[in-house]
């Protein structure tokens, strides 16, 4: 892998050097962030822990990766200035793991109580009674007839064959096409 520094800018206010770079990696996969940090540190005579790669992108179909990195004077300055997610990506700090709140253990549901078997425990003294059907209640007389009685059946339609229907339509069209006889003007 070859590394070319395209642009190098000194930023004295934040005590860092900002670098735009191009990495050429023929017949190799896209280099990892750690590998790029190591190459940049070697190229810029710095240690790996003060190099922070802000972004990197490979171009489709080419063996080139362009990127933007920052080289700080000290690691403490890098930790103070850089955003947390960038520091995590560069493995300068460990990601924060949110601890789940330990909720009170849920009370276990009691097992369903076994129903005591009454039939097996106590012998039946009486003979089983035959089941009585409930008596039908007489319906109160309504002043209005029920919905079923109100509805009258629709009159039956005449069933015609499809051929007859076509003939009727033809006759109707002929009648429409015939002009009405007109009276001639003139006195005779």
CATH of 2-89, one of 3.90.930.12, 3.90.1150.200, 3.30.70.330, 2.40.10.220: 3.30.70.330
Return the higher-pLDDT residue of 70 and 158.
70
Is the overall model pTM greater than 0.85, yes or no? no
Give the chain's count of helices (H) and strands (E).
Answer: 6, 4
Give pLDDT tens digits for 97-118: 887 766 556 667 666 666 655 5
Give pLDDT tens digits for 112-161: 666 655 555 555 556 666 666 666 666 666 566 555 555 666 666 666 66
Strands 16-24 and 51-58: unpaired
- Per-domain residue ranges of the chain: 2-89
Q: Looking at residue 49, what is its pLDDT?
A: 93
């Amino acid at each position: 892998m070859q590394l070319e520094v395209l642009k190098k800018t000194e930023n004295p206010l934040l005590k860092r050097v900002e670098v735009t770079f191009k990495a050429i990696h023929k017949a190799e996969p896209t280099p990892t962030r750690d590998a790029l940090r190591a190459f940049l540190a070697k190229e810029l005579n710095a240690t790996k822990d003060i190099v922070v790669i802000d972004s990197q992108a490979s171009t489709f179909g080419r063996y080139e990766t362009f990127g933007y990195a920052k080289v700080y004077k000290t690691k403490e300055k890098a930790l103070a200035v850089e955003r947390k997610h960038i520091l995590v990506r560069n493995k300068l700090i460990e990601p924060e793991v949110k601890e789940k709140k330990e909720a009170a253990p849920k009370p276990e549901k009691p097992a369903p109580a076994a129903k005591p078997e009454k039939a097996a425990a106590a012998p039946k003294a009486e003979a089983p009674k035959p089941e009585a059907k409930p008596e039908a209640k007489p319906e109160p007389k309504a002043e209005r007839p029920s919905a079923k009685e109100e509805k009258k059946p629709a009159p039956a339609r005449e069933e015609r064959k499809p051929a007859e229907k076509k003939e009727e339509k033809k006759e109707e069209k002929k009648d429409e096409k015939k002009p009405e006889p007109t009276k001639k003007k003139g006195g005779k």
